[in-house]
Amino acid sequence: MTARQTEFHRKVAADIVLHGQSVVGVFGEPPFSYTIGNHGVGLPELLVLGIDPGDACWVLNRLGAMQRELGKPLIGDVSLGEGAAQPLRLRAVADERRVKDEYTCQVYVHYQTEDYAVTQVLIPDKEGRFPGDAGCAEPFGRVPIFGQAASLPGSASVLSPQNTAWNAREVRRTSA
């Protein structure tokens, strides 16, 4: 490993200790970001495509904290809280080989295993249409879908039916 790679992995390890996860952002077409750290507590890593890594970092940090607080994967429609314009859709990744090879390869480097799960985070357009929905606007309409609609055993969907806003009390009530 080069000195630069060693320093990168030291930072990842420090982020995991301090925050429970680290977020890796990649500028590309499409841009994508993913977490490293959730596997260490038995949860899936999170992957989002199609949004700026800076915005993705905020989204992934919120979602990662939510699933670690629950102690189970987030699957389904999930709101990030009061003022969130639209819920996000989280799906367990079905095409694991492609995702691990093309998107989340640093998870393997960090944990030295390919035995980790990934959940894809889908972002809706302004009209609430998700990638794969008819008429989903760009750039979201171009996002590849790796996730499956079926839920994971022991997963939680934390969309509040009252106000579509996540809060700790609602999560506990919904997931109990």
Where do the DSSP E strands lie in 6-104?
22-26, 32-36, 45-49, 76-78, 88-93
pLDDT digits (tens, 9 = 90+) for 13-40: 999 999 999 999 999 888 999 999 999 9
What does the alpha-carbon distance between residue 168 and residue 158 come to, in Å, rounded to a whole number?
10
State what percent of residues in the chain have pLDDT above 70: 81
Average pLDDT of the chain? 84
pTM: 0.83
pLDDT of residue 97: 92
Asked if 120 contacts 147 with a C-beta cutoff of 8 angstroms, the reply is yes
For residues 77-100, give the mean pLDDT: 87
Confidence of residue 174 (pLDDT cuts 50, 70, 90): very low
pLDDT of residue 21: 97
Q: Of 50-59, 75-84, 101-110, 123-132, which range is least confident?
A: 75-84
45-49 and 118-122 as β-strands: parallel, antiparallel, unpaired?
parallel
